């Protein structure tokens, strides 16, 4: 059991010193700072990885600024099995969607600037006329998850209104589902209503991922690659993960067989696909045992 080796000093009037660290790192090798305490590690903040980027809205022609990620400064970590990106100190997914604060048009990536005349007309008629900009913008130097979700949902409704490709809507749903996963992971156990919030976020994540799965299945049959920036191997790997999540093991098995038999599948994806194959077999065994 841990014990404070300096306990009892309070009996001598030195109680405030009971918590001192015997081997304070500031004493090692005589490397004390001038004030006698060790230099603290600088606190890394989310805003350290952000900058303001200016865009011109292709719908209302007004300029606006959004917070964007300095990609050269973030350190990537191992992604989730379904390819959700992870970075140290920041959830970059919060900054993927571009939204005009004046007219309500929103989208992602390079496609933000490109609209056909009919798409622009549909957005003006169905979104801009009803959109109410926020009276007060957040003064925080970063986007909260709630703000990020607003932008993602705005991008999704724009994609629906302008009759965007299935892959575009699926991609937004995928990223929105991942956002809810980030929200769930960020929950602290001592937060009020923790269990209900965790369950709600998990259920909503599944709803968005289900829509992403259905959309990408349709896109795979009707669109040319690359689809949402993914080649066929990457998309099939993603779909395999989602098929397993939704217990569509026949689809998952077909995709796994295709990935493992293809000579063009990168070794990295093949290795992870073998893990998915084992997961499918285990799920099928469990399913059979419960029948």
Nearest 5°: the CA angle 282, 286, 291 is 150
Contact 75, 235 (CB under 8 A): no
- What are 65's strand-pairing partners? 54
pLDDT of residue 34: 47
pLDDT of residue 17: 46
Length of the chain: 291
Of 257, 261, 256, 226, the C-alpha closest to 239 is: 256
C-alpha separations of 69 from 27, 117, 123 in Å: 39, 30, 27
pTM score, whole prediction: 0.84
Positions of the chain with pLDDT lower than 70, given as ranges: 1-40, 137
pLDDT of residue 288: 86
pLDDT of residue 111: 87
- Cis peptide before 76, with omega less than 30 degrees from 0? no
Q: For 79-165, where are the alpha helices, taking DSSP H only?
A: 117-123, 145-161
pLDDT of residue 4: 52
pLDDT of residue 208: 97
């Amino acid at each position: 059991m841990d014990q404070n080796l300096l306990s009892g000093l309070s009996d001598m009037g030195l109680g405030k010193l009971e918590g001192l660290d015997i081997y304070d790192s500031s004493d090692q090798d005589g490397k004390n700072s001038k004030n006698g305490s060790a230099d603290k590690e600088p606190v890394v903040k989310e805003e350290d990885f952000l900058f303001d980027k200016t865009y011109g809205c292709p719908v209302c022609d007004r300029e606006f600024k959004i917070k964007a990620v300095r990609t050269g400064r973030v350190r990537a970590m191992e992604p989730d099995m379904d390819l959700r990106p992870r970075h140290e100190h920041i959830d970059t997914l919060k900054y993927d969607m571009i939204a005009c604060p004046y007219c309500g048009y929103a989208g992602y990536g390079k496609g933000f600037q490109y609209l056909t005349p009919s798409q622009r007309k549909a957005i003006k008629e169905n979104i801009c006329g009803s959109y109410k900009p926020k009276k007060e913008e957040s003064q925080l130097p970063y986007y909260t998850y709630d703000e990020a979700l607003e932008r993602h949902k705005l991008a999704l409704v724009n994609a629906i209104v302008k009759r965007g490709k299935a892959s575009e809507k699926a991609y937004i749903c995928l990223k929105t589902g991942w956002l809810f996963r980030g929200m769930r992971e960020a929950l602290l156990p001592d937060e009020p209503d923790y269990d209900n919030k965790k369950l709600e976020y998990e259920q909503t994540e599944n709803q968005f991922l289900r829509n992403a799965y259905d959309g990408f299945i349709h896109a795979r049959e009707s669109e040319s690659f690359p689809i949402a920036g993914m080649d066929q191997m990457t998309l099939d790997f993603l779909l395999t993960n989602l098929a397993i999540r939704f217990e569509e093991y026949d689809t998952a098995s077909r995709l796994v067989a295709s990935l493992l038999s293809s000579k063009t599948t990168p070794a990295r994806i093949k290795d992870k696909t073998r893990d998915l194959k084992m997961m499918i077999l285990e799920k099928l065994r469990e399913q059979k045992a419960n029948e």
